Amino acid sequence: MSVLTTDQRAPWRRLLSAVALGATAAVVLAGCAAGSTEEADSAPAEDTETTASAEALSITFIPKNLNNPYTGVQLKGGKEAAEELGMSYLEVGALDAAADSQVPFIQTEVQNGTDIIVLAANDPNAVCSALDEARAGGAKVITFDSDADCRDLFINQVEEEEVALGQLRQLFDQIGGTGEIAILSATANAPNQNAWIAAMRAEIETNADYEWEIVAEVYGDDEDAKSFQEAQGLLQAYPNLKGIISPTTVGIAATARYLSTSEYKGQVALVGLGLPPQMKEFIKDGTVTAFALWDPSEVGYLAGYAGKALADGTITGAEGETFEAGKLGTFTIGENGRIIVGPLLEFNAENIDDYDYISF
């Protein structure tokens, strides 16, 4: 994955950054966000990956963390959209998904006068003041994958309840509705993880089919090694565990890898959200029977198109507005600026080979 530093941005944007530090920041950046400023007309070409046009809108993706194959698939879609739309594209971020790791990257984009910031929030409490500043300066802010309530739009992969219920049903199909289960999540503050887990817990409480006892909820922080250790810890601490739900691609892959060579293989069920290329071997060797996800590249792609429509003024983020998103078709903005990409995909031994295209 390529990560450009801000120094590689066009000189005119760096100039605006300097101006942006002054009191006139909002005015200057608002002009920049419109994408048709005089500065842009006389500016040298962008020195980024995707466009040579000085008038191009700039879009920067800030994922949860770079050290995550899921991120790579999402950004592939974002970059594709930026290329199709002639926008200048950048992806920046930290290797880890710590709560405050995204703040300096947002601040740099504010200083650079970036037109569209697309972010997967690690922690709304950490990122919102920097994002508010970006919006006050004229930037359009989109969250994707993981929401924060300080944005123009949220590109949500699948309705939260559908994500939650799909995983529970997959577990029920394998172990029935009784026994001890555990959750292996990503980071403790991740809005997407926590929304899915809350919906799962609510369903378990109210659905008479589900008499499971959730004995633990642990966090692998979307780091492979930590997730692996947490999986190992769960199985040692709870000898009667019947199933693990891991609603994170990093967590489920690490847990599957641990299970695959352990005495628990085939004894403890594992469901959750996984990337087909990472999970294929564990489906084939019988460690995992079924898991779920969506195509993450579509989430990034849609964010790119939504960002362009916002920056062009075609949409404002209001409920009921529609816009075209290239190969994905027409989308309508739902309640509270939310846009759903598609349905939950479920993978198993019968269909796993059909999803080789979801690759990183």
> Quick one: which segment of 76-84, 136-144, 244-252, 350-358 binds ligand RAM (CB under 6 A)?
244-252
Q: Does 170 bind ligand RAM (CB under 6 A)?
A: no
Question: Does residue number 145 form part of the binding site for ligand RAM (CB under 6 A)?
Answer: yes
Total interface residues for ligand RAM by CB under 6 A:
13
Q: Which is nearer to ligand RAM, 43 or 197 (CB)?
A: 197
- How far apart are the C-alpha atoms of 162 and 135, rounded to whole Å? 31
Which of 43/299 has CB closer to ligand RAM?
Answer: 299
- Count of CB atoms within 10 A of residue 349's CB? 13
User: Judged by CB, which is closer to ligand RAM: 12, or 291?
Assistant: 291
- The residues, any chain, with a CB within 8 Å of residue 292's CB and separated by 6 or more, are 163, 166, 167, 170, 271, 272, 273, 274, 344, 345, 346, 347
Q: Does 278 bind ligand RAM (CB under 6 A)?
A: no
The rounded distance, in Å, linking the Cα atoms of 149 and 21 is 25
Residue nearest to ligand RAM (CB): 70
Cβ distance to ligand RAM smaller for residue 29 or 250: 250
Q: Which of 273, 306, 333, 358 binds ligand RAM (CB under 6 A)?
A: 273
> Smallest distance from the beta carbon of 338 to ligand RAM, in angstroms?
15
Cβ of residue 37: shortest distance to ligand RAM, in angstroms? Answer: 35
- Considering the complex, what minimum distance in angstroms separates the CB of residue 119 from ligand RAM? 12
**Helix, strand or coil for residue 60?**
strand
Where does 245-356 have alpha helices with state H? 249-260, 276-284, 296-312
CA 89 → CA 189, 320, 329, distances in Å? Answer: 28, 28, 22
Interface residue with ligand RAM among 48, 101, 192, 287 (CB under 6 A) is 192
Residue with tokens 């469901």: 271
Question: Taking a C-beta distance cutoff of 8 angstroms, is the pair 306, 86 a contact?
Answer: no
Q: How far is the CB of 47 from ligand RAM (least distance, A)?
A: 30
Cα separation, 87 vs 154, whole angstroms: 20
**Shortest distance, position 222 Cβ to ligand RAM, whole Å:** 5
- When binding is defined by CB under 6 A, the residue of 12, 61, 70, 258 that contacts ligand RAM is 70
Residue 347's SS3 state is strand
The tokens 């809350």 sit on which residue?
198
The tokens 């903005």 sit on which residue? 333
167: contact with ligand RAM by CB under 6 A: no
What sign for the dihedral angle of Cα 351, 352, 354, 357?
Answer: positive
The answer to whether the beta carbons of residues 306 and 328 sit under 8 Å apart is no
* 53 vs 194, beta carbon nearer ligand RAM: 194
Neighbours of 261 (CB within 10 A): 10
- Report which DSSP code applies to 180: E
Q: In the complex, what is the shortest distance from the CB of residue 336 to ligand RAM, in angstroms, rounded to a whole number?
A: 19
Of residues 104 through 133, those in contact with ligand RAM by CB under 6 A are: 120
| Of the residues 10, 16, 37, 64, which one makes contact with ligand RAM according to CB under 6 A | 64
186 binds ligand RAM (CB under 6 A): yes
Using the contact rule CB under 6 A, the part of the chain among 198-206, 230-238, 242-250, 300-308 near ligand RAM is 242-250
**Binding status of residue 222 toward ligand RAM by CB under 6 A:** yes
Interface residues with ligand RAM (CB under 6 A)? 64, 68, 70, 120, 145-146, 186, 192, 222, 248-250, 273
